[in-house]
Amino acid sequence: MKVCIVGASGKLGNYMVQHALERGYEVIGVCRERSVGKLDAFKGRITAMPGATNDPAVIRKAVEGCDGVLTVLVPWGVHQYSSGTAQAVLDFARPGARLIFSCGWHITRDGQDVYSRKFKALVKAVSWLGRLVRAVDVDDQVEACRRVFASGTRWTVVRGSDLEEGESQGLPVWSRHVGDPILESNLTRRVDFALFMVAALENDALIHEAPAIVGCRTPSALACAARPCAPAT
Ligand SMILES: NC(=O)c1ccc[n+]([C@@H]2O[C@H](COP(=O)([O-])OP(=O)(O)OC[C@H]3O[C@@H](n4cnc5c(N)ncnc54)[C@H](OP(=O)(O)O)[C@@H]3O)[C@@H](O)[C@H]2O)c1
């Protein structure tokens, strides 16, 4: 399998490169020119393509012939970086390719997610402050996901909980809606977020799903493994 990782130089991207190489995939990694050095550990094992991830020409070349595209959607800046990146991938990935996108729990597909007051206040504050200092545009990440959901591609949008570093604990568990008891612990190892995304490439049951994930060793995941939890929504 040949896969393209868009945003390969970041923390999540680096872990995805590792998982993809472990599976024997051929890897193309796209990252900003200034960040190519962050991929030095993989020199000779992947093809690095420098460029802005929202540049259609860069993405067109990078995804050519790829069976899967793993995209890190980040809300940085105020120049439609997220939606531009998603659109380029949607436009140029070959028909039938598996497309996996990352985001956080704040993205909702069907409006059925149940958020705590604290979570809603935090997202509101980050959105407001981010726009004020022109560093973060959460609405653009929302727009990026809206376009993915509306596309006719074979997409999966993986919604990450709070993240922590540490050794892998295994494949995270997931649920369709934030607020479901299994997700209560709200914590996933970043290496396992990446594992879930790479594993989704070969899991057709996740096509057209927006799984909200949580670490498989967290208290809420373990409690629901011992005694199945009904979804809250
Ligand atoms: N952090 C969390 O707690 C959390 C929680 C839930 C979900 N998520 C999701 O996880 C994904 C990545 O999260 P992460 O925390 O692990 O971050 P990360 O992997 O470090 O990713 C950051 C990415 O953003 C790029 N980037 C940084 N500054 C940028 C800028 N000004 N303009 C354009 N690109 C820029 C980085 O590229 P360079 O290498 O070129 O800098 C890198 O590809 C995102 O989809 C996020 O929504 C994160």
DSSP assignment of 162-223: SEE-SS---SPEEESSTT-GGGTT--EEHHHHHHHHHHHTT-GGGTTB--EEE-TTSHHHHH
Is 35 part of a structural domain of the chain? yes
Residue nearest to atom 32 of ligand 1 (CA): 76
Ligand 1 site residues (CB inside 6 A) read 7, 9-13, 31-32, 35, 38, 72-74, 76-77, 81, 102-104, 160, 162-163, 190
DSSP letter for 112, please: -
Is 231 part of a structural domain of the chain? no
Please report, in tens digits, the pLDDT of each residue of the chain (233 residues total). 999 999 999 999 999 999 999 999 999 999 999 999 999 999 999 999 999 999 999 999 999 999 999 999 998 887 899 999 999 999 999 999 999 999 999 999 999 999 999 999 999 999 999 888 888 899 999 999 999 999 999 999 999 999 999 999 999 999 999 999 999 999 999 999 999 999 999 999 999 999 999 999 999 999 999 988 878 76
Q: pLDDT of 86-138, one tens digit each?
A: 999 999 999 999 999 999 999 999 999 999 999 999 999 999 998 888 888 99
Q: How far is the CA of 193 from the centre of ligand 1 (A)?
A: 13
Is 24 part of a structural domain of the chain? yes
User: How many CA atoms lie within 13 Å of 220's alpha carbon, on the beta-carbon side?
Assistant: 21
- Which range of residues forms the domain containing residue 150? 2-226
Q: How far is the CA of 227 from the centre of ligand 1 (A)?
A: 35
Q: How far is the CA of 30 from the centre of ligand 1 (A)?
A: 13
Q: How far is the CA of 121 from the centre of ligand 1 (A)?
A: 21
The amino acid at residue 202 is: E
The preferred substitution site among 4, 12, 126, 161 for testing ligand 1, maximizing ligand atoms within 8 Å of CB, is 12
State residue 72's pLDDT score: 97
State residue 183's pLDDT score: 98
Domain count, the chain: 1
Q: How far is the CA of 228 from the centre of ligand 1 (A)?
A: 33
The preferred substitution site among 9, 14, 74 for testing ligand 1, maximizing ligand atoms within 8 Å of CB, is 74
State residue 77's pLDDT score: 80
Q: How far is the CA of 72 from the centre of ligand 1 (A)?
A: 7
Torsion of CA 133, 139, 145, 151, to 10 degrees: -120
State residue 233's pLDDT score: 60
Residues 6+ apart with CB under 8 A from 105: 113, 115, 119, 159, 160, 161, 178, 186, 212
Report the CATH number that the domain containing residue 86 is assigned in CATH: 3.40.50.720
- Strands, sheet with 2-6, edge to edge from the N-terminal-most edge strand: 47-50, 26-31, 2-6, 68-72, 98-104, 154-160, 212-214, 173-175
Is 232 part of a structural domain of the chain? no
Is 211 part of a structural domain of the chain? yes
